[in-house]
Chain A
Amino acid sequence: MSEMTSGATLLQPSERRMVLPTNILTGILLGVVGYWAGVQIGNGFGFNDSGNTGVLAGYALGSIMFLVGIGFATYPLARLFGWVTPSQPAYDEHQGVWRYLNLSYDHKVIGIQYLIAMLMAMLFGGIGAMFVRTNLLSPDTPIFPPDKYLTLVSMHSVLMVFVASAAIVGPFGNFFVPLMIGTNRMAFPRLEALSLWLVPPALVIMLLSPVFGGFQTGWTGYTPLSEQAGQGFDSYIVGFTLIAIALVVSGVNMLTTVISMRAPGMTWTRLPIFVWGVFSASILGTFAAPVLAAALSMQALDRTMNTTFFVSSNGGSPYLWENLFWIFGHPEVYIFILPAFGIVMELIPHFARKPLWGYRIAVVGLLGVTLLSWFVWQHHLFVSGIAPALRPFYMLSTEMISIPTGIVFLVAFGTLWRSRISMTVPMLFCLGFLYNFLIGGISGVFLSDVPSDITLHGSYFSMAHFHFTIVGGEIFAIVAAIYYWFPKMTGRMLNATAGKIHFWWMFISFNLAFTPLFAAGILDMPRRVSTYAPSLQGLNDWVTIWAYVLFSSMLFFAGIVIWGWFFNSKLAVADPWHARSIEWQLPTPLPRRNFARIPTFTRPPYDYGEGVPRPLIEPGAESAPALA
Chain B
Amino acid sequence: MNASERTHTLRLAIAWAVLSVVGVVIAMQVNMPPGDQTQQASDESSLLRLMLILGTPVFVGVVLFVLYSSYAFRQAPGKLEDGPPRRGNLRMQWAWVIATAVIVFALAGIGINGLANSSAATTFASSGGSLGSQTVGTSSSDRLQVQVIAQQWYFTYRYPGYGGAESTHLVLPVNANVELHVTSTDVIHSFWAYQLGVKADANPGVDNITYVTTSKTGSFTVRCAELCGIWHGNMFDTQGQVVSQGDFATWVAALQSSQSDITLPPYAPEYFPSPRVKGS
Residues of chain A touching chain B, judged by Cβ–Cβ distance below 8 Å, are 146-147, 150, 216-218, 222-225, 228, 308, 311-314, 317-319, 322, 352-361, 383-385, 388, 391-392, 395-396, 399-400, 402-403, 406-407, 409-410, 413-414, 416-423, 431, 434-435, 438-439, 442, 445-446, 448-452, 454-455, 457-459, 522-524, 526-533, 578, 608-610
Contacts and interface: CB of A to CB of B under 8 A. Distances in A.
Given A419-B83, A446-B48, A451-B43, A435 B66 contact: yes
A355 B82 CA distance: 9
B47 A608 contact: no
Interface of B: 5, 8, 32-34, 40, 43-44, 47-48, 51, 55, 58-59, 62-63, 65-66, 69-70, 73-76, 79-89, 92-93, 96-97, 100-101, 104-105, 107-108, 110-112, 114-115, 118-119, 121-122, 182, 186-188, 190, 192, 194, 197-201, 203-206, 208-209, 221, 223-234, 236, 272-275
B75 A420 contact: yes
A358 B93 contact: yes
27 contacts: A222-B187, A222-B227, A225-B188, A228-B229, A311-B275, A313-B273, A352-B83, A353-B80, A384-B203, A385-B208, A399-B111, A400-B104, A403-B104, A414-B88, A419-B73, A420-B73, A421-B74, A422-B74, A442-B55, A445-B55, A451-B47, A454-B40, A522-B48, A526-B223, A530-B233, A609-B85, A610-B82
A489 B251 CA distance: 73
Given A352-B73, A358-B93, A420-B83, A532 B221 contact: no
Contact of B201 (A383, A396, A530): A383
A385 B188 CA distance: 11
A607 to B, nearest CB: 8
Nearest to A381: B201
Contacts of A318: 187-188, 203-205
Contacts of B104: 399-400, 402-403
A568 B69 CA distance: 33
Contacts of B40: 451, 454
Contacts of A353: 75, 80-83
B146 to A, nearest CB: 16
Given A216-B230, A528-B232, A431 B70 contact: yes
Nearest to B191: A383
B48 to A, nearest CB: 5
A413 B65 contact: yes
B107 to A, nearest CB: 6
A444 to B, nearest CB: 11
Contacts of B118: 451
Given A385-B201, A418-B73, A434-B66, A452 B44 contact: yes
Contacts of B33: 455, 522-524
Contacts, number: 286
Contact of A455 (B44, B63, B227): B44
A355 B66 CA distance: 18
Which of the listed residues A385, A403, A416, A458 has the most CB atoms from chain B within 10 Å of its own CB?
A: A385
Contacts of B81: 353, 420
A420 B88 contact: no
A361 B200 contact: no
Contact of A529 (B47, B80, B85, B232): B232
Contacts of B197: 454-455
B187 A609 contact: no
Contacts of B114: 449-451
Contacts of A458: 190, 192, 199, 225-226
Nearest to A355: B87
Contacts of A445: 51, 55, 107
